[in-house]
Structure 1
């Protein structure tokens, strides 16, 4: 329903009277308004909160070797992909250590090859060293058996027989020792192989790489700087998603749950609302502030949101109440209070109201109006 009401019919509002006086000087013109009823409807409650934005991931990358910084490949603000080189460190004597370990391993492997220099043996008896000891043992055994036969026939002296027997016993002991040596060498080869791998890894670790995709937040080293193991060199942050960490009053604990939608606004973009969802809640309440922490995840593919932004958030709760609502256009703000113009018998009356939640184009009226009343909305 649209009405044409003379401004002079408005109640005691000083502003209305001054406007009426102005209109009178120009000839009285009626004010056209649209009259709408105050209705009761379901209102989904929201929890308003404030907090800050944080990166989804943040890591301080450290050096895994001791040495001097040879080159820094990135700087603050640079985008990095997973595995991208960040810093190169020249290790102290690490290359020499690797060569020494490789040389020692090659010497051991040479002793573990078959006769003719084939691949390393699986059976110790196939090793060249054991083969030679076995040949010596076989030869000594044959000579011992021959000497034993001749001694029994009285054809050689006791001393000659004892010499052949001693040589045979020594050859048998030499064979057993050769087998044991090969087993020991195999264990040493495994140990040296691990040492070579470790030295090689340390050498490859001289190039420090990004652990995940993100941006460089901070650079703590420069070319020529000496660093030790675990010296911080670069800070990487992932910002394609952000964490909004919010403070919620304890009295609202029953209203908030994981998965609820969240709308966030920041001062840098006052006309935009960034949507997310509650991802986790702290199970404890801070006794000092009587509040608890809530974290929401926000998508940030375009990168407009920055970690550290102050955030105002509205969490859409599962609570729904019946409430009186009027269009927000019906409100007038004057001297720190909200007022509406109610319509009674084709006249406007100024009424002070207290507001609750805002939802779309409507606003909740906590006090000042009753259901069924009519308010004026300017056309």
Structure 2
């Protein structure tokens, strides 16, 4: 074996060292490159447009005829505080709030023992006076016969002139007695009528057909027309004629030229916002409220409804022509939500994930500030207001404010 040359295996330490490779540099480049790609994608990716939204609503066809709106309260033009003519203590009340009554029905009664006794005494006096008339009449008849007999005897010269004069005087006195008895009978009958009326005044009856709306007294309360006594009541009941209900609405003085007597109206009660009642202007009160610059109009309710009660809040729309009695609500939307694409009217409905759906609609009449539509929508759905031209079916939006 030849001898090995170990000198060739020696490391040359005088040569310059190779630069060391930095660990992790390739991963940093990868991360920076990825971020750059994401930023470029974000800049180039189409951004969801920010839009305003509105809702599909229910509207009534009569809104297209509205000239003016006003607010007011329901009232009955025929109502009364039912009270007795005299003072007395309430003995009985036969009705309650909400009861319907007819004119002449007995509603309540006061204690009447004293006036009933007076009525009995007046009846007795009438009987006495009538008996006196009969007695006086009998005396008159007898005096007439006596005078006739005296005349016959005087012609035969069987009695003196003085006897004839006495018979004539007796007849005159009998005639006066009859007149006096009849006058006493008339006075007794008048007293009996007064006693009977006083008895009737203790019975409180309905003055007209209507509904009892409140009870202002209870059994045992003292009622007096002037209510001047301590703790006395001025009335027993309050009642109203529900067929005379109307709405007293305040109209601005500047809008007075737009209303007239007999003008058709539509009434909406705050208690029943989905119900429409027809009405007409009955009275325009000929005076102006200087403080508010308004005039009061009385709008008669034509559609009678038992749900309508006095003092309810109401809105009145003054119309250019009468509304239909059987009208039904229709779908409507802000006109700015309707767009035309390829000859078709569309609205863009928005779902819970802010994706839009193009819905074809048939556009109807303008109903106030909204436009009637027909289509596969329902009241309460959200649609895009003034959709941008680049918006398409299935696209996304960024919601702004609602209108």
Please say whether Structure 1 and Structure 2 have the same fold, judged by a TM-score greater than 0.5: yes
Q: Does the C-alpha gap of structure 1 residues 47 and 375 become closer, same or farther in structure 2, counting only changes over 3 Å?
A: farther
How far, CA to CA, are the matches of 1:172 and 1:72 in structure 2?
Answer: 63
How far, CA to CA, are the matches of 1:249 and 1:11 in structure 2?
Answer: 50
Q: Give how far 1:292 is off.
A: 0.7
Q: TM-score, normalised by structure 2?
A: 0.60
How far, CA to CA, are the matches of 2:223 and 2:288 in structure 1?
Answer: 42
Q: Superposed, which structure 2 residues align to 1:21-100 within 5 Å? A: 44-91=65-112, 93-100=114-121
RMSD (Å) for aligned C-alpha atoms:
3.9
Q: Give how far 1:63 is off.
A: 0.7
On the 8 A contact 1:76/1:216 being kept in 2, the answer is: yes
Q: Give how far 1:187 is off.
A: 2.9
Q: Does the C-alpha gap of structure 1 residues 300 and 204 become closer, same or farther in structure 2, counting only changes over 3 Å?
A: farther
On the 8 A contact 2:334/2:371 being kept in 1, the answer is: no
Query: Which of 179, 185, 200 is 1:183 aligned to?
Result: 179
Q: Give how far 1:262 is off.
A: 1.1
On the 8 A contact 2:78/2:240 being kept in 1, the answer is: yes
Pick the structure with greater CA Rg. 2
Q: Does the C-alpha gap of structure 1 residues 143 and 75 become closer, same or farther in structure 2, counting only changes over 3 Å?
A: same
Deviations 1:115-156, CA, capped at 9 Å, x for gaps: xxxxxxxxx9xx21112223444556677778x76xxxxxxx
Gaps of 5+ in 2: 1-45, 54-63, 227-233, 322-330, 347-365, 374-386, 394-403
Whether 2:15 is the aligned partner of 1:15: answer no
On the 8 A contact 1:341/1:375 being kept in 2, the answer is: no
Query: Which of 165, 170, 188 is 1:169 aligned to?
Result: 165
Deviations 1:267-304, CA, capped at 9 Å, x for gaps: 22122222211111112222211111111111464311
Q: Superposed, which structure 2 residues align to 1:1-379 within 5 Å? A: 14-15=50-51, 44-91=65-112, 93-113=114-134, 127-138=137-148, 166=162, 168-228=164-224, 231-299=234-302, 301-317=304-320, 328-331=332-335, 340=337, 357-358=368-369, 361=372
On the 8 A contact 1:59/1:236 being kept in 2, the answer is: yes
How far, CA to CA, are the matches of 1:223 and 1:341 in structure 2?
Answer: 66
On the 8 A contact 1:215/1:239 being kept in 2, the answer is: yes
How far, CA to CA, are the matches of 1:241 and 1:284 in structure 2?
Answer: 22
Q: Give how far 1:224 is off.
A: 2.6
How many residues get paired?
Answer: 288
Q: TM-score, normalised by structure 1?
A: 0.64
Gaps of 5+ in 1: 1-9, 20-42, 115-123, 150-160, 319-326, 332-338, 349-354, 363-373
Q: Does the C-alpha gap of structure 1 residues 49 and 356 become closer, same or farther in structure 2, counting only changes over 3 Å?
A: same
